Amino acid sequence: MIPRLTPYLPGSLARYPRWREFIYFVFKQAWACIFGGLLLFGIIATRLWYPEIGISRYDFLFFYAVTIQIALLIFKLESWREMGVILLFHLMATAMELFKTSEGIGSWSYPEDSIIRVGNVPLFAGFMYSAVGSYLARAWRIFDFSFVGFPPLWFAGAIALLAYLNFFTHHYMPDLRVALILAGVVAFAKTTIHFTPKDRPLRMNLLLGFCLVAFFIWIAENLGTFARAWQYPNQENGWQFVHLSKFSAWYLLIQLSFVLVYALRRFESTFHDRSDDSVHASRIP
């Protein structure tokens, strides 16, 4: 049984429902980000200080990420179904990483040595994308997501698939990024996400949700490159802010990720009754 979240609220704040809902919202968002937050902490901490322990920093980060994942399962802070989502994200991300870091593409690189790697990709890198899957799966359960006006799954799925393929094909063909963002705007313009921080059900336009999550990932990306977890070509001679144009890539990745988790939850609801970490079929249009 995954524990309920009950942050302490001073009496003066507890008397104001809106403040209470806001504090619970912030607390639960942080709780949903626990995997990504701990991973980012490890990346920054090992950049600031890393002792001579006979293992490269990247390999240490791999074992560190695996340890976090095992601990979340042992302490029942993450379910096996959520673990399945994370594994799927890891596999998809590693495939993209292998392509993006190949000699002929070189979109980014990993400047430090490691043994636990495939090609140019240290295997800890996949966990950075898994953190996105972990966040979505946990937030879905913690906030009890439901939707109004979600587009047909075939339409949303087609946009998501094309977005993933575009990460590869835009190196050889015209970049469809803007067209895919516009297609997503058309698809999700009337989609509202309903969630409950504490007692009051709230709602938000899903497109705004995509923008907010993509923005915070862009901030995390700046922290990650500052800590030399990876680097872009313009950062080889010294760190620079990640260009804001990367925001569009993260926006498409979040949209893709959300549709993937939605599809998995819908498929899951066909075979399982509602539980703490599943979504009832009647909640999904």
Residue 212 placed within a domain: yes
Mean pLDDT of 236-241: 91
Amino acid at 194: H
Is the residue at 183 inside a domain? Answer: yes
Whether 6 is covered by a domain: the verdict is no
List pLDDT tens digits, range 165-188.
Answer: 999 999 999 999 999 999 999 999
pLDDT digits (tens, 9 = 90+) for 110-135: 999 999 999 999 999 999 999 999 99
Paired strand residues for 195: 202
In this prediction, residue 15 carries a pLDDT of 57
- Asked whether residue 234 is domain-assigned, the answer is yes
Is position 4 within any domain? no
Residue 72 domain-assigned (yes or no): yes
Name, in order, each residue with C-beta under 8 angstroms of 277's C-beta and a sequence gap of 6 or more: 2, 79, 81, 82, 141
Considering only residues 279 and 209, tell me which one the structure prediction assigns the higher pLDDT.
209
59: nearest Cα among 106, 127, 107: 127
Whether residue 281 has pLDDT greater than 50: no
Q: Which pLDDT does position 284 carry in this prediction?
A: 38
Centre a 10 Å sphere on the Cβ of residue 115 and count the other Cβ atoms it contains. Answer: 11
Percent of the chain with pLDDT over 90: 73
Query: Where residue 5 falls among pLDDT bands split at 50, 70, 90?
Result: low
268, part of any domain: yes
Please tell me the predicted confidence (pLDDT) of residue 8.
55
User: How far is 107 from 127, CA to CA, in rounded Å?
Assistant: 19
Phi, psi of 6 (to 5 degrees): -135, 75
Q: 193: which strand partners?
A: 147, 204
The boundaries of the domain holding residue 37 are: 11-283
Residue 248 has pLDDT above 50, yes or no: yes
DSSP H helices, 16-152, are 17-32, 34-48, 57-74, 80-100, 125-143
- Is the predicted pLDDT of residue 198 greater than 90, yes or no? no
Q: Which two tokens stand for residue 6?
A: 């009950």
Average pLDDT of the residues in 197-217: 93
- CA distance linking residue 1 with residue 213, whole number of Å: 28
Q: Which helix (H) or strand (E) holds 121?
A: strand 121-122
What confidence tier does 279 reach under pLDDT thresholds 50, 70, 90?
very low
- Cα distances from 272 to residues 77, 81, 137, in angstroms, run 20, 12, 16
Q: Is 5 domain-assigned?
A: no
Work out how many domains the chain is built from and give that number.
Answer: 1
Q: What is the pLDDT of residue 2?
A: 45
> What is the pLDDT of the chain when averaged over all its residues?
88
